[in-house]
Amino acid sequence: MNTVSEKKVLVCTNFRANPNHPSCGARDSDKLFIALSEELKDTPISTEKSPCMGLCHMGPNVRLVPNGKCFNEASLEKLALITKEIKAFIAC
Amino acid sequence: MGFSLFISDLHLCESRPEMIEAFVTFLSDTATEAQNLYILGDLFEYWPGDDIMSTGAYAEVIKALNTLGQSDVNSFLIHGNRDFLLDGEFSKATKVTILSDPYLTTLYGKRILMSHGDSLCTDDKDYLKFRAEVRNETWTSNFLSQPLSSRIAYIESIRKQSELEKSIKSMEIMDVNQAAVESLLEEYDYPPLFIHGHTHRPNRHQYHIKGHQCERFVLGDWYEQGSFLMLDQHGIYEHSI
């Protein structure tokens, strides 16, 4: 059984300079990280920047660990929906 | 700490160029960010010997693996039932290390057992008999001494026979035998994670044996769409391409 304190939100902020290789960092995932950190500051889950998750073509990627969902093509526009699902993840 | 990728059962062949393209893209994009790439068997639909490497669509795959091999990514392969003749020349050309089956390693502090999985289908007696016949040095040496065209013709005939047999075999016979799985887990002192392919039945199975907890992941094939399993310090994540 995992405790709440072990749960994390990982936001990939990996940046790939090659324009032929898309990356979360190049798609403003830093802004998403800041916004998610703010949204979740009063919850028991920690939000962390993450290295590459191997899903660059579908980024920005936000992953819930352990064993949680991975949000692909995450964006500020989807922030409310993602936050809602993260809160459900915290509660489960 | 990075991550490792696991794939199997791509069954790459000239008749499915879209999957060769998907795999080459996977190697040139997703895989370049990984620490390790583990190919757990049946990368190719068939492999009549390393002298086929330079022909047709195979050359494209070899080139892409070689390009990945020039990077910091470590690539490993376990033989499948379709490509168990992959050998030293392939390894040299691609910089892919061929591992024994099963293979136990430790990644991110966790012991992980890997296999293609065909040897666990112990209910399929006919297949195991065939496997024993062809997986020995005498058979291999005799087979590889034949011209490439003859080897391909032989494999094609075996494949047709196999497809016919599969159509009349029950699904249960072609799945892994639970006792064989549990015996393997016991032999390797109950690794918490066991990953294999072969059955084309992607799933996640939990085992509680003699006080040990093990998870068995079955990888998906690359027929309708590609898929991979990613492992890092936080756990496992499955993804379809």
Q: Note whether B230 contacts A52, CB cutoff 8 Å.
A: no
Low-confidence winner among B84-88, B122-126, B190-194 (lowest mean pLDDT):
B122-126
Q: Does B7 touch chain A (CB under 8 A)?
A: no
Q: What is the mean pLDDT of chain A?
A: 90
In the predicted structure, residue B3 carries a pLDDT above the cut 80: yes
Q: Is it the case that residue A70 has pLDDT exceeding 90? A: yes
Return phi, psi of residue B20, to 5°.
Answer: -65, -40
Q: Do A56 and B30 touch (CB under 8 A)?
A: yes
Count of CB atoms within 10 A of residue B189's CB?
Answer: 10
Indicate whether A75 pLDDT > 80: yes
Residues 176-235 of chain B with CB under 8 A from chain A are 228, 230, 232, 234-235
How far apart CA A4 and CA A14 sit, in angstroms, is 26
Evaluate whether ipTM surpasses 0.90. Answer: no
Q: Kind of pairing, strands B212-218 and B193-196?
A: parallel
Band of the pLDDT at B171, cuts 50, 70, 90? confident
pTM to 2 decimal places: 0.90
Mean pLDDT confidence for B186-205: 96
Distance in Å, alpha carbon of A51 to nearest chain B alpha carbon: 7
B210-230 pLDDT tens trace: 999 999 999 999 998 899 999
The answer to whether the CB atoms of B3 and A67 lie below 8 A apart is no
pLDDT (0 to 100) of residue A3 = 44
pLDDT, average across residues A85-90: 95
DSSP classification of residue B212: E
Q: Is the dihedral of CA A40, A45, A47, A53 positive or negative?
A: negative
Q: Please list, in sequence order, all residues whose beta carbon lies within 8 angstroms of the beta carbon of residue B24, skipping any fewer than 6 positions away.
A: B60, B61, B64
pLDDT surpasses 70 at A30: yes
A32 neighbors A75 (Cβ within 8 angstroms) = yes
Residue, of B79 and A4, whose pLDDT is higher: B79
Closest CB from A56, A57, A70 relative to B237? A70
Q: Name the residue of chain A whose CA is nearest to B228's CA.
A: A54
pLDDT digits (tens, 9 = 90+) for B97-147: 999 999 999 999 999 999 999 999 999 998 999 999 999 999 999 999 999
| pLDDT at B61 (0 to 100) | 96
Confidence of residue A21 (pLDDT cuts 50, 70, 90): confident
Q: Stretch A61-84: mean pLDDT, rounded?
A: 95
B6: its two tokens: 């696991």
Residues of B in contact with A53 (CB under 8 A): 3, 230, 232, 237
Percent of chain A with pLDDT over 90: 72
Where is B110: in which H helix or E strand? strand B110-115
Considering only CB atoms, A55 lies closest to which of B1, B2, B239, namely B239
Residue A89 CB neighbours (<10 A)? 17
User: Is it the case that residue B173 has pLDDT exceeding 80?
Assistant: no
pLDDT exceeds 50 at position B45: yes
Position B55 scores a pLDDT of 81
* Contacts across the A-B interface (CB distance below 8 Å): 40
What the block records as the tokens of B80 is 């499948």
Tell me the pLDDT band of A4, cut-offs 50, 70 and 90: very low
Contact residues on chain B for A65, CB-CB shorter than 8 A: 234-235
What is the spatial distance between Cα B62 and Cα B177, in angstroms, rounded to a whole number?
Answer: 34
Phi, psi of B64 (to 5 degrees): -65, -40
Mean pLDDT of A76-80: 96
In the predicted model, what is the mean pLDDT of residues B180-206? 96
For residues B97 and B38, what is the distance between their CA atoms, to the nearest angstrom? Answer: 9
Q: What tokens does B48 get?
A: 């009549």
The first and second tokens of residue B144, run together, are: 């590889």
Count of other CB atoms within 10 angstroms of residue B50? 18
Closest CA to A67 of B150, B192, B232: B232
Residue B29: list chain A partners with CB under 8 A: 21, 56-57
Q: Do A55 and B2 touch (CB under 8 A)?
A: no
In the DSSP assignment, the letter for residue A52 is -
Q: Cα B223 vs. chain centroid, distance in angstroms?
A: 14
